[in-house]
Amino acid sequence: MRVLGIETSCDETGVAVYDTALDGGDGLLADALYSQVAMHAEYGGVVPELASRDHTRKLLPLIEQVLGEAGMARGDLDGVAYTAGPGLVGALMVGAATAHGMARALGIPALGVHHMEGHLLAPMLERKAPAFPFVALLVSGGHTQLVEVRGLGEYRLLGESVDDAAGEAFDKTAKMLDLPYPGGPRVAALAEQGDPARFRFPRPMTDRPGLDFSFSGLKTHTLTAIRKLDAAGELTEQGRADIARAFEDAVADTLTIKCRRALDQTGLKRLVVAGGVSANVRLRQGLDDACAKRRATAFYPRGRFCTDNGAMIAYVGAKRLAAGERDETGQMQATPRWP
């Protein structure tokens, strides 16, 4: 099946075509992304109404572009997959309506997929793809979860954040440090100049058993540290970098400790890391070390498939459509909150 994938859940318009006949790293025929990040940066975060309007402007031209790059006509498609949630409802509806409109016109099936399942299986697009079963760490702006993955659709939640997601904590820390949106990569870049020995921030919830996370206390700790430095007249560029470094180390360490625990508990030897925060280099170092000590292997999506993209949606949609799944009663689906 050659399936068009559409991602419009937040501030990236992503489109791709996946061919299930090729698989094994070759299935992705083409993909393209239009990022709205610059537009929202002016407001310090995503403005939902602007996001929907921009998806409306960019989606159809992007679909034409991707089909052109794949050397395909619309009539060559066997199905359309789109992100049905979770996400911003207006933004989701642009993708859902476009997918169902195309599917109706072409007489092919449409299927809404879960955004986080897309992230979860994004490493399957790589030539070095993990075999099932594996432990997955999902770390994005909205989620921090550990999942045991036995196969497509066979997921068991091992633990998750009881408050802020890791990416959210990065974004909030960026704001406290006067860094522009989106904050994660900016905090990471600033941390490069930081002295790791100057501060040590807490590793929340690592002193007790279990696989849940909490990042809101760390956020408060960071704010207190910033205020103290400011009061002492030491909130210089170096001071800000030292705080960024302490924060990044605390998040990377906390995530690594829980991943170690999840591998030990399940006895599994493969760890998949996905979602925007999986682009973080220090986190990758920690996880690679932890895996090496256990003779386990860590798998990551390539850089541009760590954050939101159409390829992961095309992949999951293609697999599910090929297995016979369809949107029930042919209705489009836009589910802003979808556990």
Binding residues for Fe cation: 115, 119, 308
Of the candidate residues 130, 194, 239, 276, the single one contacting ligand KG4 (CB under 6 A)? 276
301 binds ligand KG4 (CB under 6 A): no
Q: How far is the CB of 300 from Zn ion (least distance, A)?
A: 15
Q: Can you read off the two tokens belonging to residue 49?
A: 């109404």
User: Does residue 140 belong to the site contacting Zn ion (CB under 5 A)?
Assistant: yes
Q: Which listed residue (18, 134, 170, 199) binds ligand KG4 by CB under 6 A?
A: 170
Residue 280 touches ligand KG4, criterion: CB under 6 A: yes
- In one letter, which amino acid is 19? D
> What values do phi and psi take at 184, rounded to 5?
-50, -60
- Find the shortest distance in angstroms from Cβ 305 to Zn ion: 11
* CA–CA gap between residue 117 and residue 99 (Å, rounded): 18
Chain Cα centroid distance, residue 280: 12
Phi then psi dihedrals of residue 73, to 5 deg: -100, 165
CA 198 to chain CA mean position, Å: 31
Q: Which of 36, 308, 309, 318 binds Zn ion (CB under 5 A)?
A: 308
CA distance 113 to 191: 36
6, 96, 188, 290: which one contacts ligand KG4 (CB under 6 A)? 188
Query: Helices 281-293 and 183-191, interaxial angle, to 10°?
Result: 70
Alpha carbons within 13 angstroms on the beta-carbon side of residue 294 total 24
- How far is 46 from 87, CA to CA, in rounded Å? 11
Based on the shown chain and the rule CB under 6 A, indicate whether residue 279 belongs to the binding site for ligand KG4. Answer: yes
Q: What is the DSSP letter of 70?
A: T
Stretch that binds Zn ion, among 40-48, 74-82, 138-146, 311-319 (CB under 5 A): 138-146
- Could you tell me the smallest distance in angstroms from the CB atom of residue 277 to ligand KG4? 4
CB of 143 to ligand KG4, least distance (A): 7
Smallest gap, in angstroms, from Cβ of residue 119 to ligand KG4?
6
Q: Which is nearer to ligand KG4, 102 or 333 (CB)?
A: 333
**Which residues inside 107-146 make contact with ligand KG4, applying CB under 6 A?**
119, 140-142
Q: Any idea of the CA torsion for 268, 272, 273, 275, to the nearest 10 degrees?
A: -130
204 binds, among ligand KG4, Zn ion, none (CB under 5 to 8 A by kind): none
For ligand KG4, the binding residues in 302-321 under the rule CB under 6 A are 307-308
Q: At what angle do helices 166-176 and 216-231 cross, to 10 degrees?
A: 20
Minimum CB separation from Zn ion for residue 16, in Å? 15
Binding site as annotated, residues: 115, 119, 138-142, 171, 184, 280, 308
List the Cα angle 226/277/305 in 5-degree steps.
150
Q: Answer with the entry of ligand KG4, Zn ion, none that 319 interacts with (C-beta below 5 to 8 A by kind).
A: none
Angle at 83 between CA 170 and CA 104, to 5 degrees: 160
The residues of the shown chain that bind Zn ion, judged by CB under 5 A, are 140, 308
Q: Which residues bind ligand KG4 (CB under 6 A)?
A: 119, 140-142, 167, 170-171, 182-185, 188, 275-277, 279-280, 307-308
